[in-house]
Amino acid sequence: MKTDSYLFVLAIAGVALGNVPEPVARLRQALSAHGPGTSPEPRSNVNEFITRSNKTLKPSDFLVKSSALPLITFPLQDSYAGKLPISANANETRQLSFWYWPSSTKAGSKKLSIWLNGGPGCSSFLGFLTENGPISFQAGAAAPTFNPYTWTNASDMLWIEQPVGTGFTLGTPNLTNEVQLSDQFYGFLQQFYKVFPDLIKKELYFTGESYAGMYIPYITSRIVNASPSEKKALPLNLQSFLIIDGVYASFITLEDAPMYNFAKKNQQILGINATTLERIRNVTVFCGYQEILDKVTYPPKGMIPLPNGNQDMYPSWDCLSSEVLYDAATDANPCFNIYRITDKCPTPSKNRPDVQSALHFPNFGNWSECAPFEKPVFINQRDYSDYTETLFPSLISKLPKGFSLWQGVDDALLLSEGTKIMIQNLTWGGSQGFTKPPTTPLIIGGEKKGVYRTERKLTYIEFENAGHMIPQDQPAAALHAFKWMLYGGKLSEATG
């Protein structure tokens, strides 16, 4: 999520904007459950998730006529939106909400890509309107406009609000880990494909950002490891996934260890003084972070030792180098945006409740872009799950097209160098890490948009002039890279 974009979201979807949730607190609260012995318990019985039809619903029951959407003054194809339960139980009260848009192209109609925002508990409809949907509502705009870089140019797109407690979803949240979340999501998919059976033949892809780095690998694992009877009932053609600025490993890896290098590189943009920079450097040395950085080589020379096996257990509270930077950057610039450090101050937007009925969410009441802290999507705001880096090796081997990890270099919440530390400490396809650093230029339209590296079905793309929300900051480049995941071909004009 991006702080300024909260203020421009869903003027067409009926949002009552409250206080902007604090991103670091949200992530740290959810991830504070990570530690030794906190692996998710196995599901009780996977076969119970084979659904039994108790009501016949048709796509037409969810049809959204674009002409019925307020503020839309440009041509759009019709779409489908509404809510579906997470199981076939006749008494099921938990429902996830979705917005499905068929592709505008013939080739794209053969693919179905699911988008998930993070949080945890933040709405995917925010991503729809500010990143990759056909309707764009950006900072300072008086009304929505058509997004020429919508991902529906390349694929059918399905934006899903989940888990229960997010956005327009219904029911009482009861999750404590990602295995439970993936079970509920799998149950929703069964209900969705019963309503839209023609979509089952399409290639399936998952896309998302931030805490979706936890969601997507667990959901993917749930699908590829489904029981034979489940696969027969729901033969999903899952190909790959991409995650943007995701949570895969501990905050020490993704944030605190590389924070000094980030602060030094961006000192002028952040507005921090030499005293603050020296303080962050001292934390880096005192807490052993410099030893981690020194061991990141290409190819790796061995496993990189991480504190407490890469759990979020700090030697001391003084080791939160990220907090030092955030406090100093906020003091220097009250409009400091952790999601994109180059951003300026946002401008307030407006509220439009009248579209809720058009999207089949009638009389919902106040919609929130992220679940409030007092109503968390995980019980007691704790996600008792192992980090998804533990799932990556097996998923690479089971996904036909592997997967991609994207990173915006201007993101101060989850740092690009942290993701590279994680990759260099990961063993997959018989080897550890990348053999060479990701330095191949990403040339699109004659312009350098970043760098990348692909080895053994894992692709890392680093986007310049982009923060936490790459499709918003670099829309053309993001669409190009998304198409590459779907169709292959040439990722960069600089390569053959």
SS3 category, 303: coil
Strand order in the sheet with 203-209: 63-64, 79-85, 95-101, 156-161, 111-116, 203-209, 237-244, 403-408, 458-463, 447-455, 440-444
Please give the Cα distance from 96 to 190 (Å, whole number).
12
- Which candidate in 136, 210, 221, 322 is catalytic? 210
Q: Decide if 198 is catalytic.
A: no
Please give the Cα distance from 102 to 81 (Å, whole number).
12
Dihedral sign for Cα atoms in the order 170, 120, 28, 334: negative
- Which candidate in 411, 473, 480, 492 is catalytic? 411
Beta-bridged to residue 115, according to DSSP, are: 159, 207
Q: Which residues contact 479 (CB under 8 A, 6 or more apart)?
A: 132, 149, 150, 151, 153, 154, 471
Output the six-digit token pair for 255: 């944030």
- Which candidate in 468, 473, 480, 492 is catalytic? 468
Beta-bridged to residue 97, according to DSSP, are: 83, 161
DSSP state, residue 122: B
Strands 95-101 and 79-85, bridge-based pairing: antiparallel
Please give the Cα distance from 384 to 396 (Å, whole number).
24
Q: Decide if 34 is catalytic.
A: no
Q: Please report where in the chains the tokens 């991409």 appear, as a residue.
A: 242
Q: Which 3-state string (H, E, C) describes 85-116?
A: ECCCCCCCCCEEEEEEECCCCCCHHHEEEEEE
Residue type for 239, please? Q
DSSP state, residue 170: B
On whether the CB atoms of residues 222 and 204 are closer than 8 A, the answer is: no
Greatest alpha-carbon pair distance for the chain in Å reads: 66
Please give the Cα distance from 323 to 59 (Å, whole number).
48
Q: Which residues are catalytic?
A: 210, 411, 468
